[in-house]
């Protein structure tokens, strides 16, 4: 018996090793480009950390351990780990352990709900999406009790407003986000365009011309325009941009009117469907942010819709497009009708944490201007502190940020506040129907009619024009 | 059971047996019966997951929403003269939108699918089309995977049952897919099925001149289920082979020698001797696999997420994403009933007995 077992077991080990090796090579979600150490001119957050009172935070010699659920593997997580190591070195009494959360925000939301349902104290600090504060407020600590009001004095008011539920500040703005159009400056020049497109029609035309040209030169993998088309929250963001920039409204208006069922919205969805197979790869219906970024990163796309995080990665050493691209506001139906979906993440403390005071102290530090500055410079995440947009070091490192400030300040919000606590279902109805359009199961007109009916049933709101 | 007029000794033995069984029974009550009962109880409420919202009793409302279906006929679109309009793109008769014919009260019915019958167009509607689709998909997945795994598992088992050099190593190798945890192998396959040439399959197909190298295996509805079936067949065939191999080894080899002497060919030997003697083994294997496949969760959740559901991943979605604890409990109960029905049918038709009487 055991003699038979030895070959089996050793074989199993070998196979496992091979699998692990393959996994390391091909399936690593993001090539990390965050530098191993911050460049010399980047301010290290130690100064801020040193000022924090730690000796009185805990009893002498008692070490508080905090668990922090951060994002999925990638440059952001790597940098957060570095920052937390720094914190741990300066705060022997408050040791923070970073845990990589699921990459998909949807999965992360599920994870948080499960720990909240169990009222578990296993998680102390977490990153929450901009659409969740209303939904999760009852499980989060009011940071105003720990001096949150001063901490957010410099943040964009709209985001602070978003994170304040019934007067309770449940999350500190960590970074903000908005959809951007990435475009290849070198290819635009090569094909004789003077600047990036301002309308969807222009984008289509340019993408087609560049794609045809590049393929004729032998790059069969080249595509005009990549974006996020998988059935998930990201598709809600992309589709909201198409619709809003075509004058089709925001699905549900802030004054509780369901506005999705209109001609402009239907046409916007049909427009996106018509891109697929022409200027957009058929595989886009399975793309999340990273899949589209990989096509772009390999130099195989003329345009990409993505979040700002892709900026520094695209300038990384392993990138085929380093120095050959720029970002601008997304196109609209007419010039100037551009729209960017508001994204971004907040730091929150669980109500069930056994050390809310220490956890609050930690998030104050991680969301501070110094920390956000380091993140902006190193991994191109957009700060939520207004003062940082005038900071010369930030402007020098990320020139696009100052330029894109109007995009971030006027970003269009998903209808999460007006539909709370049912936003997740609203979004699911929306992206499922949009996904059906993209996969050819229904047309835009049917989709917006279906979405309207479903939302009426779910929310009981009035319907109207945007 | 004790016989009439049993001796004192037998009675004492019986009492002891009950005492010995008691701990097991109590543990079962705690870890199986209690959760099951609480799920059944929850399925009659509108409980919200991870929330302090008060819970109300709603009777059979959850079940009504889950299971209501209807079939309606769709009229064709007509121009002013009353003639059917032909769609320019497809060249077929254009029909009104299904939304216009499906009832909206008391609950709105939504389209599951459309089909044509005797020249008329019908729509199948349901109050929860996602659930109806997930039931259908799960049943299709189950039938396809179990059938393929049985056939392939049988072939593999017959091969490794033969006498040849390195048979032990071969048996070890075929077990590898079964040894890899489903979560890992699902993710592995998800990477291989990427919708562009970073994916293994798209690359291979492209080199063979099939497709554009851009086949969206996991987002195109026509490819989704075949992909799932393929992954499950790859993963579970070894298990099937192992079960069947165990059965094969119980068959005495001298009957084959006798058959050879009588001049029966290998095919005839297989269908007239091997298969009947394996009947019990196959029955057990089928029951195992069917019940397993019907409650498939991890594979669908990891590879398809919310793009397409199995019954179990739909339940998970309703609980975790939509926070509908009552509603997801109801769908759990439905799954439980579907499994029970399958199990009972199997037990009856295949003569698998739970006791040796």
Domain boundaries, chain B: 69-127, 130-323
Substitution target in A21, A286, A351, A453 with the highest count of B β-carbons within 10 Å is: A286
CB pairs under 8 A between A and B: 126
The confidence band for B94, taking pLDDT boundaries of 50, 70 and 90, is confident
Mean pLDDT along residues A280-288 = 90
Final residue before a domain boundary, out of A370, A385, A409: A409
Cβ–Cβ below 8 Å for B321 and A232: no
Q: Which domain holds residue A225?
A: 180-339+422-463
A324 by Cβ neighbours in 10 Å (0-12 / 13-18 / 19+) ranks as middle
In a domain, A45, yes or no: yes
The rounded distance, in Å, linking the Cα atoms of B124 and B116 is: 11
Check CB contact of B110 with chain A, cutoff 8 Å.
Answer: yes
Query: pLDDT averaged over chain A?
Result: 86
In a domain, A414, yes or no: no
Q: How open is the CA angle B222-B227-B232, to the nearest 5 degrees?
A: 140
The confidence band for A115, taking pLDDT boundaries of 50, 70 and 90, is very high
Question: Whose CA is closest to B194, among B211, B214, B212?
Answer: B214
**CA distance to partner chain A, nearest, from residue B16 (Å):** 36
B52 CB neighbours in chain A (<8 A) are: 138
In a domain, A415, yes or no: no
In a domain, A164, yes or no: yes
The rounded distance, in Å, linking the Cα atoms of B204 and A436 is: 28
User: Are the C-beta atoms of residues A176 and A170 closer than 8 Å to each other?
Assistant: no
CATH of the domain at A72: 3.40.190.10
Q: Do residues A83 and A104 share a domain?
A: yes
Question: Whose CA is closest to A177, among A342, A331, A329?
Answer: A342
How does DSSP classify residue B54? P
Q: Do residues A405 and A446 share a domain?
A: no
Asked if pLDDT for residue B211 goes beyond 60, the answer is yes
Asked if pLDDT for residue A4 goes beyond 70, the answer is no
Task: Report the sign of the C-alpha dihedral through residues A440, A442, A447, A450, in that order.
Answer: negative
Cβ–Cβ below 8 Å for B321 and A110: yes
Q: Which residue of B has its CA nearest to A22?
A: B188
DSSP string of B126-179, one letter each residue: ESSHHHHHHHHHHHHHHHHHHHHHHHHHHHHHHHHHS--TTHHHHHHHHTHHHH
Asked if pLDDT for residue A359 goes beyond 80, the answer is yes
Check CB contact of B322 with chain A, cutoff 8 Å.
Answer: yes
A441 CB neighbours in chain B (<8 A) are: 221
**Residue A39: predicted pLDDT:** 36
Question: Whose CA is closest to B128, among B140, B111, B113?
Answer: B111
**Residue A48: predicted pLDDT:** 42
| Token pair in block for residue A45 | 């957050």
Nearest to A113 among B49, B97, B171 (CB): B49
Summarised one tens digit per residue, pLDDT across range A143-199 is: 999 999 999 999 998 899 889 988 999 999 999 999 999 999 999 999 999 999 999
In a domain, A192, yes or no: yes
A424 CB neighbours in chain B (<8 A) are: 321-323
How does DSSP classify residue A127? E
The rounded distance, in Å, linking the Cα atoms of A459 and B265 is: 70
Residue in the block written with tokens 């994170």: A163
Q: Do residues A188 and A174 share a domain?
A: no
**Residue B351: predicted pLDDT:** 65
DSSP string of B216-277, one letter each residue: -TTTSHHHHHHHHHHHHHHHHHHHHHHHHHHHHHTS-THHHHHHHHHT--HHHHIIIIIHHH
Model pTM score: 0.79
User: Are the C-beta atoms of residues B160 and B245 closer than 8 Å to each other?
Assistant: yes
Q: Do residues A53 and A134 share a domain?
A: yes
CATH classification of B130-323, choosing from 3.40.50.10800, 1.20.1440.230, 1.10.3720.10, 3.40.718.10? 1.10.3720.10
Domain count, chain A: 2
A457 by Cβ neighbours in 10 Å (0-12 / 13-18 / 19+) ranks as middle
**Residue A50: predicted pLDDT:** 42
Summarised one tens digit per residue, pLDDT across range A255-278 is: 899 999 999 999 999 999 999 999
Query: Where is pLDDT greater, at A16 or B70?
Result: B70
User: Are the C-beta atoms of residues B231 and B189 closer than 8 Å to each other?
Assistant: yes
CA distances from A353 to A365, A367, B313 (A): 18, 19, 30
Query: Where is pLDDT greater, at A36 or A262?
Result: A262
CA distances from B201 to A283, B210, B214 (A): 13, 10, 10
Q: Do residues A252 and A219 share a domain?
A: yes
Nearest to A286 among B168, B180, B219 (CB): B219
Pairing of strands A257-258, A462-463: parallel
Mean pLDDT along residues A26-44 = 36
């Amino acid at each position: 018996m055991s003699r038979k077992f030895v070959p089996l077991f050793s074989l199993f080990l070998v196979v496992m090793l091979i699998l692990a090796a393959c996994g390391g090579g091909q399936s690593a979600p993001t090539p990390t480009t965050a530098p191993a150490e911050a460049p010399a001119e980047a301010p290290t957050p130690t100064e801020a950390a040193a000022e924090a009172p730690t000796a009185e935070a805990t009893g002498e010699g008692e070490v508080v351990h905090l668990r922090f659920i951060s994002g999925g593997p990638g440059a952001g997580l790597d940098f957060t780990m570095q920052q937390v190591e720094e914190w741990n070195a300066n705060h022997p009494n408050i040791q923070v352990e970073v845990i990589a959360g699921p990459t998909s925000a949807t999965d992360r939301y599920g994870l948080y709900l499960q720990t909240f349902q169990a009222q578990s104290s296993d998680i102390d600090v977490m990153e929450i999406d901009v659409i969740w504060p209303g939904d999760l407020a009852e499980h989060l600590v009011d940071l105003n009790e720990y001096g949150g009001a001063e901490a957010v004095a410099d943040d964009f008011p709209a985001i602070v407003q978003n994170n304040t539920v019934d007067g309770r500040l449940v999350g500190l703005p960590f970074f903000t986000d908005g959809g951007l159009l990435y475009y290849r400056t070198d290819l635009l020049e090569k094909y004789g365009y003077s600047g990036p497109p301002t309308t969807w029609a222009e984008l289509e035309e340019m993408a087609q011309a560049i794609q045809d040209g590049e393929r004729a030169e032998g790059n069969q993998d080249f595509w005009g325009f990549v974006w996020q088309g998988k059935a998930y929250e990201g598709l809600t963001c992309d589709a909201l941009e198409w619709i809003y920039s075509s004058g089709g409204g925001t699905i549900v208006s802030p004054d509780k009117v369901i506005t999705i069922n209109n001609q402009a919205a239907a046409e916007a969805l049909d427009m996106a469907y018509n891109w697929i197979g022409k200027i957009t790869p058929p595989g886009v219906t399975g793309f999340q942010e990273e899949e589209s970024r990989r096509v772009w990163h390999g130099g195989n796309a003329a345009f990409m819709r993505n979040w700002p995080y892709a900026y520094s990665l695209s300038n990384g050493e392993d990138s085929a497009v380093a120095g050959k691209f720029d970002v601008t506001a997304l196109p609209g139906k007419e010039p100037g009708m551009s729209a960017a979906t508001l994204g971004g993440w907040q730091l929150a403390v669980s109500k069930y944490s056994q050390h809310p005071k220490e956890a609050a102290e930690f998030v104050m530090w991680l969301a501070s201007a110094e920390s956000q500055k380091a993140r902006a410079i190193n991994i191109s995440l957009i700060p939520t502190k207004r003062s940082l947009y005038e900071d010369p070091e930030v402007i020098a490192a990320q020139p696009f940020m100052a330029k894109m400030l109007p995009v971030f300040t006027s970003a269009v919000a998903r209808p999460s506040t007006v539909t709370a606590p049912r936003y997740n279902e609203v979004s699911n109805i929306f992206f499922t129907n949009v996904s059906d359009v993209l996969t050819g199961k229904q047309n835009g007109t049917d989709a917006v009619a279906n979405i309207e009916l479903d939302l009426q049933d779910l929310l009981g709101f009035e319907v109207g024009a945007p | 059971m004790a016989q009439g007029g049993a001796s004192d000794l037998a009675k004492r033995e019986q009492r002891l047996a009950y005492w010995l069984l008691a701990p097991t029974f109590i543990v079962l009550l705690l870890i199986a019966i209690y959760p099951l009962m609480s799920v059944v109880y929850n399925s009659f409420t509108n409980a919200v997951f991870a929330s302090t919202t008060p819970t109300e009793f709603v009777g059979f409302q959850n079940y009504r929403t889950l299971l209501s279906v209807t079939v309606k006929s769709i009229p064709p679109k007509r121009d002013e003269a009353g003639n059917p309009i032909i769609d320019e793109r497809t060249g077929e008769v254009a029909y009104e939108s299904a939304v216009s014919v499906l009832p909206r009260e008391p609950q709105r019915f939504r389209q599951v699918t459309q089909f044509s019958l005797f020249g008329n167009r019908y729509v199948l509607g349901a109050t929860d089309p996602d659930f109806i689709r997930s039931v259908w998909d799960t049943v299709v997945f189950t039938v396809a995977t179990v059938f393929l795994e049985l056939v392939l598992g049988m072939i593999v088992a017959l091969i490794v049952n033969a006498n040849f050099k390195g048979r032990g190593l071969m048996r070890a190798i075929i077990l590898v897919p079964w040894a890899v945890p489903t979560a890992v192998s699902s993710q592995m396959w998800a990477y291989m099925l990427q919708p562009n040439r970073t994916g293994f399959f798209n690359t291979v197909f492209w080199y063979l001149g099939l497709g554009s190298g851009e086949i969206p295996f996991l987002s195109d509805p026509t490819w989704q289920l075949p992909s799932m079936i393929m992954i499950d067949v790859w993963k579970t065939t070894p298990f099937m082979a192992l079960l069947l191999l165990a059965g094969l080894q119980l068959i005495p080899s001298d009957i084959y020698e006798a058959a050879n002497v009588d001049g029966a060919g290998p095919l005839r030997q297989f269908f007239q001797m091997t298969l009947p003697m394996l009947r019990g083994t196959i029955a057990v294997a089928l029951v195992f696999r069917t019940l397993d496949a019907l409650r498939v969760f991890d594979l669908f959740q990891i590879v398809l997420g919310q793009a397409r559901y199995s019954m179990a991943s739909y339940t998970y979605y309703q609980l975790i994403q939509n926070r509908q604890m009552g509603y997801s409990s109801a769908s759990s109960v439905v799954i439980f009933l579907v499994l029970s029905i399958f199990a009972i049918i199997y037990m009856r038709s295949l003569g698998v007995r739970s006791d040796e009487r």
